[in-house]
């Protein structure tokens, strides 16, 4: 007996349907923003190469995959917990850079599916992290990995909710700046020293600026659920000056890098991003940041973070190729 054509059509559609669900879950992790987690690994690994003249591709790739997986998990669990708190539901001014992925609010993914997908990414990141630990036998790396895992989850998860307690921007500067730059540098050098401080602080400032500028459109929603960001705590005018001052500080730090042979080219290349920084400061004004649908300050800040991190990375690679190892 022949199978009805409709049954055959339904069966043939199942793989396509399953594939589309995987695509949705992947997009829910906000992959285009994973540059924020890749940047510190690139910078730290390149600095390690500039300092020692050696490079471990395996440890670099594992570190990159681990932090990107943890970042994906954090993105999805943050969407879940911002749904639970009502933050994303209260947000009437979402932008491509803020307000969450909004798959829950649009009915594309259920809260449960979002949470489970986030935990899946955390598990993948943890497995890769354990692999790195087994390869290096380093307690330092293990501690950094645990901080990244717990910090990413409890950024919005109860009862800690780091992002709601006036320290969220600084936590992100640590998790996506100082700590992964140091960790990646350590993986390449097996050394804990002061060399990564300056570039790590720059990367931390850049991601701090990304988080801060994206809080302006969320001001009303964050205030309504008592999410005490710097913008909520100090108001728009003061937060704008915090943004401007932090951005300006990154350039004297880059200039200070010029005295170090392994960081000279990185410092020079970062200084070349000054015109973009000037544009960012110009766009970071009260009118723009208070206007719904206006997010050019966010766009140029993300661009500055990307180009600044790539400038540091490229500079360290040039130093590693042109100079013998050592600081």
CATH topology of domain 32-322: Farnesyl Diphosphate Synthase (1.10.600)
Residue 218's pLDDT is 92
pTM, two decimals, is 0.91
42: which 2 tokens?
């690139």
* Cα–Cα distance, 57 to 69 (Å, whole number): 18
Q: Which residues contact 94 (CB under 8 A, 6 or more apart)?
A: 100, 102, 217
Write the CA distances from 65 to 13, 108, 127, 274, 294, integer angstroms: 32, 27, 10, 31, 33
CA angle 8, 9, 14 (to 5 degrees): 100
Residue 10's pLDDT is 44
Residue 18's pLDDT is 58
Q: Which residue has the tokens 């050019």?
A: 296
Q: Are 141 and 183 in contact (CB under 8 A)?
A: yes
Residue 16's pLDDT is 52
Residue 43's pLDDT is 98
Residue 290's pLDDT is 85
Residue 77's pLDDT is 96
Residue 292's pLDDT is 84
- Per-domain residue ranges of the chain: 32-322
Tens digits of pLDDT across the chain (327 residues)? 454 544 444 444 455 545 588 888 889 999 999 999 999 999 999 999 999 999 999 999 999 999 999 999 999 999 999 999 999 999 988 888 888 889 999 999 999 999 999 999 999 999 999 999 999 999 999 999 999 999 999 999 999 999 999 999 999 999 999 999 999 999 999 999 999 999 999 999 999 999 999 999 999 999 999 999 999 999 999 999 999 999 999 999 999 999 998 999 999 999 999 999 999 999 999 998 888 888 899 999 999 999 999 999 999 999 999 875 544
Residue 322's pLDDT is 87
Residue 35's pLDDT is 93
* Cα–Cα distance, 169 to 229 (Å, whole number): 8
Residue 92's pLDDT is 87
Q: Which residues contact 75 (CB under 8 A, 6 or more apart)?
A: 28, 29, 30, 33, 101, 118
């Amino acid at each position: 007996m022949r199978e009805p054509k409709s049954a055959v059509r339904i069966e043939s559609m199942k793989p396509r349907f399953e594939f589309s669900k995987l695509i949705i879950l992947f997009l829910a992790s906000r992959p285009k923003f994973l540059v924020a987690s890749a940047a510190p690994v690139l910078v730290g690994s390149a600095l390690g190469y500039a300092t020692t003249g050696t490079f471990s591709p395996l440890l670099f790739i594992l570190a990159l995959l681990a932090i990107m997986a943890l970042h994906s998990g954090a993105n999805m669990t943050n969407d879940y917990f911002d749904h639970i708190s009502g933050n994303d539901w209260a947000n009437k001014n979402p932008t491509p850079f803020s307000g969450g992925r909004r798959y829950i609010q649009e009915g594309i993914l259920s809260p449960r599916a979002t949470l489970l997908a986030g935990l899946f990414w955390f598990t993948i990141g943890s497995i890769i992290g354990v692999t790195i630990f087994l390869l290096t036998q380093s307690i330092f790396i293990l501690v950094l990995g645990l901080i990244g895992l717990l910090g990413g989850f409890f950024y919005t998860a109860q009862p800690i909710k780091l992002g709601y307690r006036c320290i969220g921007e600084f936590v992100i500067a640590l998790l996506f700046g100082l700590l992964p730059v140091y960790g990646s540098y350590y993986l390449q050098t097996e050394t804990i020293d002061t060399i990564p401080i300056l570039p790590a602080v720059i990367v931390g400032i850049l991601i701090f600026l990304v988080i801060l500028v994206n809080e302006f459109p969320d001001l009303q929603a964050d205030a309504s659920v008592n999410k005490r960001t710097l913008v909520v705590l100090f108001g728009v005018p003061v937060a704008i000056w915090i943004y401007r001052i932090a951005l300006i500080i990154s350039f004297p730090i880059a200039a200070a890098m010029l005295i170090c042979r392994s960081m000279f080219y990185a410092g020079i290349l970062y200084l070349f991003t000054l015109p973009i920084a000037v544009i960012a400061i110009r766009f970071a004004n009260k009118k723009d940041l208070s206007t719904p649908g206006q997010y050019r300050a966010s766009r140029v800040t993300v661009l500055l973070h990307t180009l600044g991190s790539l400038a540091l990375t490229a500079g360290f690679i040039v130093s590693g190729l042109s100079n013998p190892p050592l600081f």
